Structure 1
Amino acid sequence: MSHHPIHSPEILCFGEAMTMFVAETPGELAAVEWFQRRIAGADTNVAIGLARLDFRVGWLSRVGDDSFGTFIRRTLEAEGLDCRHLQTDPERPTGLVFKERAMGGIDPNVTYYRQGSAASCLAPSDADSVDFSGLRHLHATGIPPALSPSARELSWQMMEKARIGGATISFDPNLRPGLWPSEAEMRDTLNELAAKADWVLPGLAEGRLLTGQHSHEAIADFYLERGSTTVMIKLGPEGSYFRGRVGGNLESFTAPGIPVAEVVDTVGAGDGYAVGVISALLDGCSPREAVHRGNLIGSLAVQVVGDMEGLPTRERLAALEAELLAP
């Protein structure tokens, strides 16, 4: 069923959604016969997570004029995303990704077929129809700028127009070194984009690679000095670190991770974290509540095989938050 809200979206996400095939059985992909079809993409994981928490979320991208593009559109619309800015490209295919079934919580091997995909040819003109004045928040990641020069131009433009329109902006570096011509170019581009964001969400290893700094504080200060207001560093099972301006003061703290009985698939944990902190900050929660919710939703994401299947509804989130707070 299609959702076409009258109102334009309050949150906008953009990037590449791919059709994903997850191996039914562990082992090398060459030996796997059965796959399950899902949807993949860091940017859509966040969009879906925020839509499940009852925000009006728009998705800006391109898909091919093919069955996989139709599958992606239907899946996103069924999740309640506003797809008015999702173009169908008659010339180029939808990107595909194949994922191993990894055991014991190790990162699964992933094979992409995304070169020359419809979404890799995103360009500034794709944002022409966006009403930035009605936008409350823009979530950006380091993936679109890695796809092509035109997609990088679009990233700049989206962040600039959102800033002028008065929206808050979050940025998750989401390093994909294999998509960049060089590490230096990746580093420089992503640091420049991060400086345009209010809330920067790197993982610890990403933060070290991008800033050349080692400690949580130094990584955070690198972005705070360049104009961001808040840096939240993901520390995996250890939880996360917050450093930012709250009221007139600089506040910093570490929030412990939520223990997980069994890690099924680590993909999507960072996206779950982003859903938690962004939704909480937009809800008007305190930094501690935001980071706690980020840790919580990140912990849900690692307990399922899919990238976004663990993302909770508002009701489930409220129940889980109450359970964790119970004495």
Structure 2
Amino acid sequence: MEQLDVVTFGEAMAMFIADVPGRLHEVSHYTKALAGAETNTAIGFARLGLKSGWASKVGADSFGKFIIAHLQKENVNIEQVLTDGHYPTGFQLKSKVFEGDPEVEYFRKGSAASHMSVVDFNEEYFLSARHLHMTGIPLGISEHTRAFAQHALNFMKKAGKSVSFDPNLRPTLWKSRDEMIAVTNQGAFQADTVLPGIHEGEILTGYQKPEDIAKFYLEQGVKQVIVKLGGDGAYYQTQTGQGTVKGYHVEEIVDTVGAGDGFAVGVVSGLLEGLSIEDAVRRGNAIGALAIQSQGDSDGYPTRDRLVEYMNHQLNEVK
């Protein structure tokens, strides 16, 4: 079995992006793409040259085949992407916007991925990875995926693997706000690195300042917390230090979806490669900035050469 740098898991969907601005029910033409926070990160890691793997279930349908083919093209390991002939692959519609967040409508209830359970967990596959990156989304999709996620987290921690956790809150997936907060935090407390957005952090901790949000998780044993501040960059805090890394200036924002996942790719890859937390956060800011300049969720994620070129260019611009 191939040795992996990073493994992740979750649900991927076919995504139909409106070709022109307007409400979803008014648009006639869409372009098909791939959607999924965890597949975004798997693709991002692979583009940087890391060996990444993604575990999931897809339906025995055209959308499932599309997802598998797309990830193969991106050099993501899909040995643990199972095909389930009883349930369909989910999909979503996304509007085209030039400002603010797009309108998104999901068709995922009862999907193949929502039936991924602990019996589908392959210990050998997960042990082949140095690091587990997970989001809070599988914790909310279904009871099956929640059990899978909690098992994966416990298993990797016991195996001595490092774990990063991005809350990626999706309130519509949960029965209640209180349940979302409790279960998501339970997962976050077990991670080494937690990556909330500033608004997510406020929901999960009750605090508004990034310093207080970070402290909340550090007091639970988390090693390092990086709070995303949007265009202002990111704040980081460890048990021994803290700081803020400014974001990169972007002239034109095309689509903000996928920026947070790109940020996670930068931070986690940097930490795995031995960068300081400040430099890892700077890399995360760079990939996040590149991500929002493209329409698709992961289209803007750079190769290693493109990332170096972009960061060097931005450095020279500052000088």
Alignment match, 2:251: 261
Alignment match, 1:214: 208
**1:121, CA displacement in angstroms?**
1.1
Amino acid in structure 1 at the alignment position of 2:23: E
Task: Tell me which of 164, 177, 180 is aligned to 1:183.
Answer: 177
**1:129, CA displacement in angstroms?**
4.6
In structure 2, distance between residues paired with 1:69 and 1:165: 31
Alignment match, 2:13: 18
In structure 2, distance between residues paired with 1:8 and 1:99: 35
Instruction: Count the aligned residue pairs.
Output: 317
With the length of structure 1 as denominator, give the TM-score of the two structures. 0.95
**1:29, CA displacement in angstroms?**
1.1
Task: Tell me which of 146, 149, 169 is aligned to 1:152.
Answer: 146
Q: 2:63 matched to 1:73?
A: no
Query: 1:242-292: CA deviations, max 9, x gaps?
Result: 0013xxxx1110111100000111101101100110111111001111111
Q: 2:34 matched to 1:33?
A: no
Amino acid in structure 2 at the alignment position of 1:232: I
Alignment match, 1:252: 242
Q: 2:42 matched to 1:52?
A: no
Matches within 5 A, 1:77-88: 77-88=72-83
**1:9, CA displacement in angstroms?**
2.1
Q: 2:289 matched to 1:299?
A: yes
Helix, strand or coil for the counterpart of 1:298?
Answer: helix
Contact 2:218 2:225 in 1 (8 A): yes
In structure 2, distance between residues paired with 1:94 and 1:131: 23
Matches within 5 A, 1:100-249: 100-104=95-99, 106-245=100-239
With the length of structure 2 as denominator, give the TM-score of the two structures. 0.97
Alignment match, 1:97: 92
Amino acid in structure 2 at the alignment position of 1:271: D
Query: 1:86-129: CA deviations, max 9, x gaps?
Result: 0001100000000000123x100000000000011111112135
In structure 1, distance between residues paired with 2:310 and 2:233: 17
For structure 1, the residue ranges without an aligned partner over 5 or more in a row are 1-5
CA RMSD of aligned residues (A): 1.0
Give percent identity, aligned residues only. 46
In structure 2, distance between residues paired with 1:257 and 1:302: 12
Helix, strand or coil for the counterpart of 1:11?
Answer: strand
Helix, strand or coil for the counterpart of 1:162?
Answer: helix
For structure 2, the residue ranges without an aligned partner over 5 or more in a row are none
Helix, strand or coil for the counterpart of 2:243?
Answer: strand
Contact 1:171 1:200 in 2 (8 A): yes
